[in-house]
Amino acid sequence: MLYRIGRSFFNRYPRLMTGLVGAVAKRVPLSVRHGKEFRETRRLLERSQWWSRARHEAYQLEQLQKTVAQAFEVSPFYRGLYGRAGVRPEDLQTLDDIRRFPTITKDDLRSHLEGMINPAVDRRSLIEFCTGGTTGPGVVIPFEESYRNRSRAFMWHLWENVGYQPHMPAAILQHRECPPEVNDGIWYEDKPSNALVLSAHRLSAKTIDRYVEALREHRPRVLIAYPSLAYLFSSYLKEIGFDEKLFDLVILGSETLYEFQRKSLEEVFQATVRIHYGHIESCTLFGYCEHSNVYHVQTEYGFTELLNDDGTPAAEGEAGEVVATNFGNRALPLVRYRTGDLAQPAAGTCECGRQYPLVEQIIGRKGDFIRTPSGATHSPILIEFLMDRVLLDGRDRFADLQIVQTQIDEILVRVVPGHDYHPEDVENFCRLLSRELDDEIAVSQETVAEIPRTDRQKKSLVVSRLDGP
Ligand SMILES: [Zn+2]
């Protein structure tokens, strides 16, 4: 497969991200607040980040065997699945043996969730999160509190590795509501969290000075944001010719980060930009380190495979689907879960000395690509690029936009008009899009009041209704 690609990223951990900031600032030691699992995982990661590749693999095999055996034991779904495939947990003697076991999909989760949940856990004590989904309804994933605390320890470890320190003053630019009676709803100070919360809703060319004022007054050292909002913010700052260092560090999550966005953020904020990748399903976690913009696959978190369509591992330069097995979610073992995300492995090891497998880039979700009748595949970065060109001189023209591929030769552009909307903006956009797709696809448009979000966490720019990969 040939993709037009750019460095990009998904992360669906918003609750954990902001939760960490709040927890630290309340000055209750995290180890007390988040219990034994948190402490033990922190201790493990302190050591394991310096393990050899062989030691990581031995740990992975041990955990993988445990997860597969547990899935087989507690879940009629897995017993049936493995029975039909003619495999048993004891067949798993090397890491490569895992490829004999069938993969599972989100559709399996939707249809067989009850048969997958461990009947031995107390259902009333479980915490549940709903996954997003552009291709259907989300799925509720149950966790024990201890598993969530384990995940927190991983996130905390990754944040620390990129320079986040406890009690560091932060600015948060996500989709948190600001009380309208305080500072005209533009910002408020969340004192317990030691954070300046900035409104995403009020951010515009007209209000940008107020944001700058608040940031100058509070001097947060880190910006915690969604990539699209951080980029929007940097664009407004650029427009007013702002040239002042606002943050040391920008930590992003929950959406794709495109290369042009990362460059703009580094330039405008004069800060280090870091991002992590994970899912609500909590099977896999990748993070940047202090030295590089290459993802390190956290091998203690779960077992991650990057697979070609024929099930073989993707080589360097190829794009493989992220297929992952969780370690330690006793409530719901997920073995070889197909995430639908495509990632590109990188060879070698990082200069930081850690021996984790590396991922060069996350290039999108399978359903997020546009295909043309002649067989070309275009990643959503194309759309971002075109939007950038159309919106050069103003950001209030489209309040929202989505591309839906309804047929191999038909695309619908849905637009929610912004304050400065003119019909020629969308016509211009459609014309550019059609040209980029070599005029092989008919591009039509509709203006709508709102774009329905089936995915709670991530904004999907492209929705493909075509079957197959
Ligand atoms: Zn590194």
CB of 387 closer than 8 Å to CB of 350: no
The amino acid occupying position 143 is F
Distances (CA, A) of 267 to 231, 242, 246, 287: 11, 11, 11, 22
Separation of alpha carbons 246 and 179, rounded Å: 24
Class (C level, CATH) for 369-464: alpha beta
Q: Look at residue 367 in the predicted model and tell me its pLDDT.
A: 63
- Amino acid identity at 440: E
* CA nearest neighbour of 402 among 368, 378, 376, 435: 368
Could you tell me how far CA 254 lies from the centroid of its own chain?
4
Residues 6+ apart with CB under 8 A from 164: 222, 249, 251
What homologous superfamily is domain 3-163+276-363 in, according to CATH?
Answer: ANL, N-terminal domain (3.40.50.12780)
C-alpha 301 to ligand 1 mean position (Å): 17
SS (H, E, C) 344-390: EEECCCCCCCCCCCEEEEEEEEHHHCEECCCCCEECCHHHHHHHHHH
Residue type at position 149: N
Task: Using the mean position of ligand 1's atoms as its centre, give its distance from the Cα of residue 390 in Å.
Answer: 37
309 CA distance to ligand 1 centroid (A)? 29
> How many A from CA of 358 to the centre of ligand 1?
9
DSSP E strands, 213-317: 222-225, 249-252, 272-278, 285-287, 295-297, 302-307
Instruction: State the distance from the centre of ligand 1 to the C-alpha of 348, rounded, in angstroms.
Output: 11
Q: How far is the CA of 350 from the centre of ligand 1 (A)?
A: 4
pLDDT value at residue 118: 93
CB of 109 closer than 8 Å to CB of 139: yes
Can you give the pLDDT at residue 15?
41
| Amino acid at residue number 128 | E
Domain boundaries, the chain: 3-163+276-363, 369-464
Q: In this structure, what DSSP letter does residue 322 have? A: E
Q: CB neighbours of 416 closer than 8 A, spacing ≥ 6? A: 398, 399, 400, 401, 447, 448, 449, 450, 451
Report CA(453)–ligand 1 centroid distance (Å).
35
**How far away, in angstroms, is 292 Cα from ligand 1 center?**
6
Cα 290 to ligand 1 centroid, rounded to whole Å:
7
293: enclosing H helix or E strand? none
> In a 3-state reduction of DSSP, which class is residue 211?
helix
Separation between Cα atoms, residue 460 and residue 404, nearest integer Å: 10
- Rounded to whole angstroms, the Cα distance separating 461 from 459 reads 6
CA of 268 to the centre of ligand 1 (A): 25
**End-to-end CA distance of the chain, in Å?**
10
How many A from CA of 336 to the centre of ligand 1?
26
Contacts (Cβ under 8 Å, ≥6 apart) of 178: 185, 186, 187, 188, 197, 198, 199, 201, 202
Q: How far is the CA of 52 from the centre of ligand 1 (A)?
A: 14
The pLDDT assigned to 157 comes to 94
Centre of ligand 1 to C-alpha 157, Å, is 13
pLDDT at residue number 56: 98
Distance (Å) from CA 285 to ligand 1 centroid: 14
Q: Look at residue 423 in the predicted model and tell me its pLDDT.
A: 86
Strand pairing of 170-173 and 140-143?
unpaired
Q: List the chain pLDDT tens, one digit each, 469 residues.
A: 222 222 222 223 334 444 455 444 445 566 666 789 999 999 999 999 999 999 999 999 999 999 999 999 999 999 999 999 999 999 999 999 999 999 999 889 989 999 999 999 988 888 888 776 544 567 888 889 999 899 989 999 999 999 998 778 999 998 778 899 999 999 999 988 889 999 987 888 889 999 999 999 999 999 999 887 888 788 788 888 889 999 999 999 877 677 767 888 998 999 999 988 888 888 999 999 999 889 999 999 999 999 998 999 999 988 899 999 999 899 999 999 998 888 899 999 999 999 999 998 887 666 667 888 887 777 666 776 676 666 655 456 777 778 889 999 999 998 888 777 888 888 888 988 888 888 899 999 999 887 765 443 345 677 878 765 4
Instruction: Using the mean position of ligand 1's atoms as its centre, give its distance from the Cα of residue 287 in Å.
Output: 9
According to DSSP, the β-strands at 462-464 and 195-198 are unpaired
Cα-to-centroid distance, 448 and ligand 1 (Å): 45
Compute, in degrees rounded to 10, the torsion defined by CA atoms 67, 68, 73, 77: 110
Residues 6+ apart with CB under 8 A from 165: none
Do residues 90 and 64 touch, judged by C-beta distance below 8 A? no
Q: How far is the CA of 161 from the centre of ligand 1 (A)?
A: 9
Residue 272 Cα to ligand 1 middle (Å): 15
Distance CA 179, CA 53 (A): 50
- The one-letter code for the residue type at 277 is Y
